[in-house]
Amino acid sequence: MDTVNIGLLGLGTVGGGTLQLLKRHADAIERRTGRRVQVRRALVRDLAKPRPAEAADVAVTTDPDEILDDPAIHIVVELVGGCEPTRAWVLRAIAAGKHVITANKALIAQHGNEIFAAADQHGVIVAFEAAVGGGIPIIKAIREALAGNRIESVAGIVNGTTNYILTEMRDRGLGFSEALAQAQALGYAEADPSFDIDGIDAAHKLAILAAIAFGTPLAFAGVATEGIGAISAEDIGYAEALGYSIKHLAIARRDEEAVELRVHPTLIPQRQLLARVDGVMNAILVHGDAVGETLFYGAGAGALPTASAVVADLVDVLRLLSADPDHRVPYLGVRPGAIADLPLRPLEAIHSAYYLRLSVEDHPGVMADITRILADHEISIEAMLQRPDPTRPDTMPIILLTHRAWERAMNQALDAMSRLASVRGPITRIRVQTNGTW
């Protein structure tokens, strides 16, 4: 089999980029694998949409059966997104003996266990490097290059859209909606951008990273998830004034007792490298017991960076076509029978420093009430900022940075503070990275 036929499911941002790279690097791919690749057919939803020039000689269809039932197609590349009907299509492709490459983190995070079991049963490969970190080869790095380590933590910026929005709000003073519209126009956002904004996309990616790093089952439902919807331009400004940047982080840590999986905005000291990862860029810190800290940085979304990962997976599959399935790298880094569960630590049980922003009535005794509540919950204050807002003369914004405290105690303190008559509106709480601890 010197020419390998591919069926593309999806010809949008990533599908178009993939087609472009396959044309641009056809000779290089042949030199690397000894095979010629031909895109035999591509699935779309709307035949009338304009397609990239590279698609001119590709047969386009709206019927998935023309790809899934075509015995001449050896590899299916799924770049549609969402869990259905993609789950059904991928399982059909596997059952038909086709290898599958996907960039779909929702599908892998939520249905990976079923898909991997089906792939093992049918002796085919499922590759998903593009599902996490766009063009950063983070899955290969953790699963293969860091296999000599016990991975202790994986933490970083894994969603390009939210990082782009936070950066544009800070650097160019854009409003949230305007920054989101730009991210969508650039092809970074999910079809439903609430997946980006609410942290669901980052949680999908974290579930995949944690499973591979720790050899545990995919546990998307166990990821504590907060998005960036509550972060205002004011918070970004106050954080800057205090020497921090606000980043949306995905954090997976383990100790002897439990695994911690959480996605939320975090204040990071400006001297830290992660604080300077801006725009669509992603960066992932992996801590291994032998190697120490490693940092992986690159474009986290966009047509060509993501296609770079898809094509790398394709090269892997082409190289492995004639290899014994037993010689393949296991999907989650450990052999299926060796996946070990660890209890999940609830968010309430984490120990973190906090940024709090309250809007209070400006009269004597208000600060005393707030500090008393914090003291009652054994939370000590590290820094305070009080800046009158001329547009709101009846209230005073107070910004507090606390030392590390238990999340459960902070929840109780926030509850008590929000019941004070002098506190107006909701209290913003953002976790803070201190002394290298998340």
The residue ranges that bind ligand HSE (CB under 6 A) are 134, 159-161, 188-190, 196, 201, 300-301
Q: Are strands 3-9 and 36-43 parallel, antiparallel or unpaired?
A: parallel
Which candidate, 306, 332, 308, 287, places its Cα nearest to that of 436? 287
Beta bridge partners of 383: 401
Nearest CB to ligand HSE, comparing residues 105 and 254: 105
Report in angstroms how near the CB of residue 11 gets to ligand HSE at its nearest.
Answer: 17
Give the residue carrying structure tokens 């699963």: 143
Report in angstroms how near the CB of residue 246 gets to ligand NAP at its nearest.
Answer: 22
Report in angstroms how near the CB of residue 108 gets to ligand NAP at its nearest.
Answer: 9
Report in angstroms how near the CB of residue 141 gets to ligand NAP at its nearest.
Answer: 17
CB 281, CB 247: distance < 8 Å: no
Is residue 59 within the footprint of ligand NAP (CB under 6 A)?
A: no
Please give the order of strands across the beta sheet that includes 3-9.
Answer: 59-61, 36-43, 3-9, 75-78, 99-102, 126-127
* CA 434/CA 312 separation, integer angstroms: 37
SS3 383: strand
Q: Which residue in 19, 80, 165, 312 binds ligand NAP (CB under 6 A)?
A: 80
Is residue 103 within the footprint of ligand NAP (CB under 6 A)?
A: yes
- Whether residue 217 is preceded by a cis peptide bond, meaning omega within 30 degrees of 0, is no
* CA 95/CA 324 separation, integer angstroms: 18
Size of interface with ligand NAP, in residues (CB under 6 A): 26
Is residue 13 within the footprint of ligand NAP (CB under 6 A)?
A: yes
Tell me the residue nearest to ligand HSE as measured from the CB: 161
- Binding characters for ligand NAP, 173-212, by CB under 6 A (x = yes): --------------xx-xx---------------------
Is residue 281 within the footprint of ligand NAP (CB under 6 A)?
A: no
CB 163, CB 246: distance < 8 Å: no
* CA 153/CA 347 separation, integer angstroms: 16
* CA 340/CA 164 separation, integer angstroms: 36
Give the residue carrying structure tokens 């209290």: 427
Active site residue 205: yes
Is residue 330 within the footprint of ligand NAP (CB under 6 A)?
A: no
Give the residue carrying structure tokens 């709206």: 62
* CA 7/CA 11 separation, integer angstroms: 11
Residues 113-152 contacting ligand NAP, CB under 6 A: 130, 134
Tell me the residue nearest to ligand NAP as measured from the CB: 12
Q: Which residue in 37, 44, 154, 413 binds ligand NAP (CB under 6 A)?
A: 44
Residue 81 binds which one of ligand HSE, ligand NAP, none, with CB within 5 to 8 A depending on kind?
Answer: ligand NAP
Which range binds ligand NAP by CB under 6 A, 8-16, 113-121, 170-178, 241-249? 8-16
Report in angstroms how near the CB of residue 204 gets to ligand HSE at its nearest.
Answer: 9
Is residue 46 within the footprint of ligand NAP (CB under 6 A)?
A: yes
Q: Which residues are catalytic?
A: 205
